């Protein structure tokens, strides 16, 4: 399965029309505008207009895509059926319900946007969020796959994985440079992961966006596996502040771990 030799056709999935339907959804999700026309979608996913139309019709009938007449044309956008499924997908990961109240407390204590994330196929994916109060608000989207090497939650989770798994993930996803502070070699990152595993919190210090600092900490279940991580996002600030934040984030992560029946970071069985 994992040793499939031919990777020449990575976009060929068993069911072509289903794959294309998913392409449509992703195209609509990636669309920066507030809706796309049939032709636009057809071009985006590389099919004829009639094919795109049939796909859209099917999904409109089911509420996965919504359409609006506008003048002559028609604009398609993501339907509300997806809201339900997304909500359920998050709910099915039991962590969310338990973590959200603590996340709220973390945001109350720090006045910062806090997030809950898991590792999905090596990527860091946010599945919960509590926005900071006030008008200044970081744009943070749920469910988007983020590269783990330049994200605080990603690093917090990688720090608890066996070293060869980390290497495999980094090799598969790559470590593209996002800013001048991004760690771009496995060796450098693995070195930092050791510090993180020891200290109990991770940093993204302008490694993904200049001026943006994130502080993360892992959450452990009853098997002491790091099943999720939380983080807060803020502007770059002084080191002493950062360490104070780290302690706060770690403390809140610990409280979630305890609710899950897992150990706090200080009580972890295996040092790595």
Partner DNA sequence: AACTATGTTCTGCATAACAGAACGCAAGAA
Partner DNA sequence: TTCTTGCGTTCTGTTATGCAGAACATAGTT
In the complex, which residues of this chain contact DNA (CB under 7 A)?
1, 14-18, 20, 37-40, 47-51, 53-56, 71-74
- The count of other CB atoms within 10 Å of the CB of residue 9 is 7
Place of tokens 């910062």: 112
Q: Does 84 bind a copy of itself (CB under 8 A)?
A: yes
Q: Which residues contact 257 (CB under 8 A, 6 or more apart)?
A: 219, 220, 221, 263, 264, 265
Q: Does 190 bind a copy of itself (CB under 8 A)?
A: no
**39 touches, from DNA, a copy of itself, none (C-beta below 5 to 8 Å by class):** DNA
CB-side neighbour CA atoms (13 Å) of 50: 0
Q: Which residues contact 151 (CB under 8 A, 6 or more apart)?
A: 117, 124, 204, 208, 214, 216, 231
**Residue of the chain from 39, 73, 144, 168 that contacts a copy of itself (CB under 8 A):** 144
Range 168-180 burial, b when 16+ CB lie within 10 A, else e: ebbeebebeebee
Q: In this chain, which stretch among 24-32, 163-171, 218-226, 246-254 interacts with a copy of itself, using CB under 8 A?
A: 24-32
Report the nearest approach of DNA to the CB of residue 4 (Å).
Answer: 10
Output 49 or 167, the one with its CB closest to DNA: 49
Of residues 104, 128, 124, the one with CA closest to residue 115:
128
- Confirm if 92 and 115 have CB atoms less than 8 A apart: no
Q: Does 195 bind a copy of itself (CB under 8 A)?
A: no
Q: Does 245 bind a copy of itself (CB under 8 A)?
A: no
Report the nearest approach of a copy of itself to the CB of residue 126 (Å).
Answer: 8
Q: Does 141 bind a copy of itself (CB under 8 A)?
A: yes
Q: Is 164 helix (H, G, I), strand (E, B) or coil?
A: helix
Q: Which residues contact 219 (CB under 8 A, 6 or more apart)?
A: 95, 99, 226, 227, 228, 229, 230, 253, 256, 257, 260, 262
Q: Does 64 bind a copy of itself (CB under 8 A)?
A: yes
**242 touches, from DNA, a copy of itself, none (C-beta below 5 to 8 Å by class):** none
Output 17 or 48, the one with its CB closest to a copy of itself: 17
Q: Which residues bind a copy of itself (CB under 8 A)?
A: 13-15, 17-19, 21-22, 25-26, 28-29, 34-35, 54-55, 57-59, 61-64, 66, 77-92, 94, 100, 104, 118, 120-121, 125, 127, 131, 133, 141-145
């Amino acid at each position: 399965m994992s040793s499939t030799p031919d990777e020449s056709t990575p976009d060929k999935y068993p069911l072509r029309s289903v794959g294309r339907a998913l392409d449509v959804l992703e195209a609509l999700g990636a669309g920066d505008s507030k809706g796309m026309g049939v032709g636009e979608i057809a071009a985006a996913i590389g099919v004829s207009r009639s094919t795109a139309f049939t796909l859209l019709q099917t999904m409109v009938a089911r509420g996965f895509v919504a359409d609006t007449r506008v003048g002559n044309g028609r604009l398609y956008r993501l339907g509300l059926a997806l809201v339900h499924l997304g909500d359920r997908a998050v709910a099915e990961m039991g962590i969310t319900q338990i973590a959200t109240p603590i996340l709220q407390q973390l945001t109350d204590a720090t006045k910062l946007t806090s997030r809950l994330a898991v590792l999905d196929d090596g990527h860091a994916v946010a599945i919960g969020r509590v926005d900071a109060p006030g008008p200044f608000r970081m744009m943070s989207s749920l469910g988007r796959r983020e590269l783990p090497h330049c994200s605080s939650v990603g690093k917090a989770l990688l720090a608890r994985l066996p070293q060869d798994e980390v290497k495999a993930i980094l090799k598969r996803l790559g470590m593209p440079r996002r800013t001048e502070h991004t760690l771009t070699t496995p060796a450098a990152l693995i070195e930092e992961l050791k510090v993180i595993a020891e200290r109990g919190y991770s940093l993204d210090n302008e490694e993904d966006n200049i001026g943006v600092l994130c502080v993360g900490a892992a959450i452990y279940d009853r098997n002491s596996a790091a099943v999720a991580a939380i983080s807060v996002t803020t502007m770059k600030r002084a080191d002493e502040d950062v360490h104070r934040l780290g302690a706060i984030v770690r403390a809140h992560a610990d409280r979630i771990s305890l609710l899950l029946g897992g150990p706090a970071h200080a009580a972890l069985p295996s040092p790595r």
